[in-house]
Amino acid sequence: MVKQIEKLPDHVCIIMDGNGRWALSRGLERNVGHRQGVEAVRAATEYAAEKGIPYLSLFAFSEENWGRPKSETDAIMSVIVNAIHNETPKMMKNNIRCVFIGDREQLDNKALKRMDDCMRQTAGNTGMTLIVAVNYSGKWDILQAVKRLLEENPPAEQLLSPEVFSSYLSTAGVPEPDLMIRTSGEMRISNFMLWQMAYTELYFTPVLWPDFRKPDFEAALNAYSNRKRRFGKIEESI
């Protein structure tokens, strides 16, 4: 019998790390690891949707990743662009709404078109929301929110409200992540959703992203379900 996980998160975000090491440890080129990572994206998305998790966010490419050799950034971008194209029919079938977040400035027209087509096609789906962060960084997100706030010039007291500020972030309307999973053993946030992760439960696993499958996701959910979230309060007042 399948054991029920007691407390499910509403929003899981994943820093998908370890593609390069996965490939190198097999004597393969790093880019093979990026291609292999798509399999893990498929498994994680399917699992989250099956479990009834309302929001899943995946960190696919960071602003800092442009610092890698062009041959690698080109390869990662083409993996992303192809995956969007190939996975959209499955998202339609599974009633998944897909949203892309990140700075669009440095992305080429082909990538932007694929992202926009996918968002448009899946916009009416009412199941899980899949948020894919491409050319994203947490500091960028906060700065773009501040810029838009300044442009719109709302009354000063509104600027002081975390709720109003959140509504200018690229994740407006999305609950803050309850659980962050990072694969590959690195224990850092690497400029992901900085504001949004203020009270997120962090889970680190040594599993490299291309190997991450449903049992690994389940282990993370089980760990989450045993966490005591206090939000600064004490047990009795929660």
Active site residues: 17, 65
Distance from C-alpha of 209 to C-alpha of 37, rounded to nearest angstrom: 6
128 lines the binding site for ligand IPE (CB under 6 A): no
Nearer to Mg ion (CB atom), residue 61 or residue 224:
61
87 lines the binding site for Mg ion (CB under 5 A): no
Name every residue whose Cβ is closer than 8 Å to that of residue 36 and which is 6 or more positions away in sequence: 19, 22, 23, 210
The least distance separating ligand IPE from the CB of residue 142, rounded to whole angstroms, comes to: 17
- Residue selected from 20, 102, 138, 177 as contacting ligand IPE according to rule CB under 6 A: 20
Structure tokens at 76: 């990662």
76 lines the binding site for ligand IPE (CB under 6 A): yes
> Rounded to whole angstroms, what are the CA distances from 170 to 38, 42, 179, 184, 219?
24, 23, 18, 26, 29
Q: C-alpha angle 151/157/163, rounded to 5°?
A: 80
Nearer to Mg ion (CB atom), residue 65 or residue 88:
65
The one of ligand IPE, Mg ion, none whose footprint includes residue 56, by CB under 5 to 8 A per kind, is none
Count of residues making up the chain: 238
Distance from C-alpha of 179 to C-alpha of 154, rounded to nearest angstrom: 32
Distance from C-alpha of 198 to C-alpha of 123, rounded to nearest angstrom: 28
60 lines the binding site for ligand IPE (CB under 6 A): yes
% helix, strand, coil for the chain, step of 5:
45, 15, 40
- Residue selected from 12, 17, 196, 208 as contacting Mg ion according to rule CB under 5 A: 17
Nearer to ligand IPE (CB atom), residue 5 or residue 24:
24
- Residue selected from 47, 59, 100, 224 as contacting ligand IPE according to rule CB under 6 A: 59
**Residues binding Mg ion (CB under 5 A):** 17
Which residues of the chain form contacts with ligand IPE (CB under 6 A)?
A: 15-21, 59-62, 65, 76, 184, 186, 188, 190, 209
